[in-house]
């Protein structure tokens, strides 16, 4: 392991938990059932950010944008409630990677675009909230991903410089934020594969979090 590594920063949705797919699948199912035409690509394009979906692209129906937006918010709230009650879908290797990093003396942080109460509910239900030193959200910074602010904020909170951190991300927007921050990053793709610019800037693109353990020589 790089002995200079002091802080590991984790995205949440799509990286630690298989939640992005759940939100998108639930949205597609509900809109199909209600006969509301939507362009799912517009939703995929904002994965990993705190940006609202572009209704000019997403809503292809005659329903008011506010109605569609309200339905989307309810879909997410209902999915989170269900997962917290019935089990959060944890990605392969998460527990093992957190354990290995902690054993190596690396501090852990979350940097997510998800609203704090929702994020902490999911982390707590998955049994990992106490593993992290702190949770940073897009509400803590001026600009969310793909801007670098949240990752630089996490480094400042931990008292480390960017070169002493490693970011774990799944999304294109998260990878671009990490690259802009000048912080080494590893991509574990979820719904979309990384673009060429994100792939080239990454330390590695891995099939699962478990693969990071031997890569970082944590075991």
Beta strands in the chain (DSSP E): 7-10, 107-112, 134-137, 165-169, 185-187, 204-205
Contact by Cβ (8 Å): 178, 170: no
- 11 labelled catalytic: yes
167/151 Cα distance (integer angstroms): 8
41/159 Cα distance (integer angstroms): 38
Tokens for 148?
A: 């670098």
Question: 103-126 burial string, b = 16+ CB within 10 Å, else e?
Answer: eeebbbbbbbbbeeebbbbbbebb
| Active-site residue, selected from the candidate residues 11, 45, 149, 190 | 11
Tokens for 55?
A: 């209704």
- 13 labelled catalytic: yes
By C-alpha distance, which of 86, 98, 84 is closest to 10? 98
Angle at which helix 116-125 crosses helix 65-86, to 10 degrees, equals: 30
Tokens for 217?
A: 């020589």
| Active-site residue, selected from the candidate residues 13, 18, 149, 170 | 13
Active-site annotation, residues: 11, 13
């Amino acid at each position: 392991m790089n002995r200079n590594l002091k802080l590991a920063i984790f995205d949440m949705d799509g990286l630690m938990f298989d939640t992005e797919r759940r939100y998108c699948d639930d949205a597609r199912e509900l809109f199909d059932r209600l006969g509301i035409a939507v362009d799912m690509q517009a939703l995929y394009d904002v994965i990993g950010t705190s940006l609202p979906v572009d209704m000019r692209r997403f809503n292809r129906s005659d329903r008011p944008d506010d109605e569609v937006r309200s339905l989307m918010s309810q879909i997410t709230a209902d999915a989170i409630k269900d997962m917290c009650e019935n089990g959060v879908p944890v990605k392969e290797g998460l527990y093992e990677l957190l354990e290995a990093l902690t054993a190596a003396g690396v501090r852990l942080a979350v940097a997510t675009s998800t609203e704090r109460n929702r994020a902490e509910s999911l982390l707590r239900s998955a049994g990992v909230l106490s593993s992290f030193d702190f949770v940073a959200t897009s509400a803590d910074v001026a600009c969310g991903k793909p801007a670098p602010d949240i990752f630089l904020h996490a480094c400042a909170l931990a008292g480390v410089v960017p070169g002493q951190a490693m970011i774990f991300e799944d999304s294109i927007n998260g990878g671009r934020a990490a690259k802009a921050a000048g912080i080494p990053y590893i991509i574990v793709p979820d719904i979309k594969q990384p673009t060429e610019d994100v792939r080239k800037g990454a330390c590695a693109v891995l099939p699962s979090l478990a693969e990071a353990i031997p890569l970082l020589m944590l075991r």
